[in-house]
Structures are given as structure tokens and as C-alpha cells.
């Protein structure tokens, strides 16, 4: 939901990775993530425009937002998406 691109890679002879092939619970989780992604689309377009016009980074590591926080300098699974902290 928070990444600017979204795609699934697989081999041509692999089993399709459609969410409904993995049960309703996984299909529901994917549906929720996709709904969030599309609700955030206008926000992300605004961030992309700001990145182009003002040279403001859209996605930033936490250390850029919290330079004095020693923990933020080593976190690689959390980041800033504009003003939203993403922590999957």
C-alpha cells in the first residue's frame, strides 16, 4: 500500500499468485491493502508533485526525520511516507 510501485514476479509456468487462491483470509488482507493503496493515491500524487517541484523526498528513512535518535539510524523496516510513519 505504501510503495510507489506494485507488481508480482513469477515464472510463466508457476501457479498464479491471485489472492483468492490462498483462502479468504489472505484475499481479505490483500483487498484491505489495495483499498488503502487507492485511498492514499491522491496523497501520493501530491507527494510526487512536491518531490518534483521542491526536491522533497517522498519516502525517507527514519534517520532523516529523527537524526538524533540512534535507533532510527539502524531501522530498515520502517520509513516515512510523506508525514506517515510506515511500520509494517
DSSP class of 19: G
> pLDDT confidence of 28, banded at 50, 70, 90?
very high
- Per-residue b/e over 41-75, b at no fewer than 16 CB within 10 Å? eeebeebeeeeeeeeeebbeebbeeeeeeeeeeee
Q: Which residue has the higher pLDDT, 87 or 2?
A: 87
All 3 cell numbers of residue 70? 540512534
Q: Are 10 and 17 in contact (CB under 8 A)?
A: yes
Mean of pLDDT values over 12-25: 83
Q: What is the pLDDT of residues 40-50, one digit of tens each?
A: 999 999 999 99
Q: What is the pLDDT of residues 52-71, one digit of tens each?
A: 999 989 899 999 999 999 99
Neighbours of 82 (CB within 10 A): 19
Amino acid at each position: 500500500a505504501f510503495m510507489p510501485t506494485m507488481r508480482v514476479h513469477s515464472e510463466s509456468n508457476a501457479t498464479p499468485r491471485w489472492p483468492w487462491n490462498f483462502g479468504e483470509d489472505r484475499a481479505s488482507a490483500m483487498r484491505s491493502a489495495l483499498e488503502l493503496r487507492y485511498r492514499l493515491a491522491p496523497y501520493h500524487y501530491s507527494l510526487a508533485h512536491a518531490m518534483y517541484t521542491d526536491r522533497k523526498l517522498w519516502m525517507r528513512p527514519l534517520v532523516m526525520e529523527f537524526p538524533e535518535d540512534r535507533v532510527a539510524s539502524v531501522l530498515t523496516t520502517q520509513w516515512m511516507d510523506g508525514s506517515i510513519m510506515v511500520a509494517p
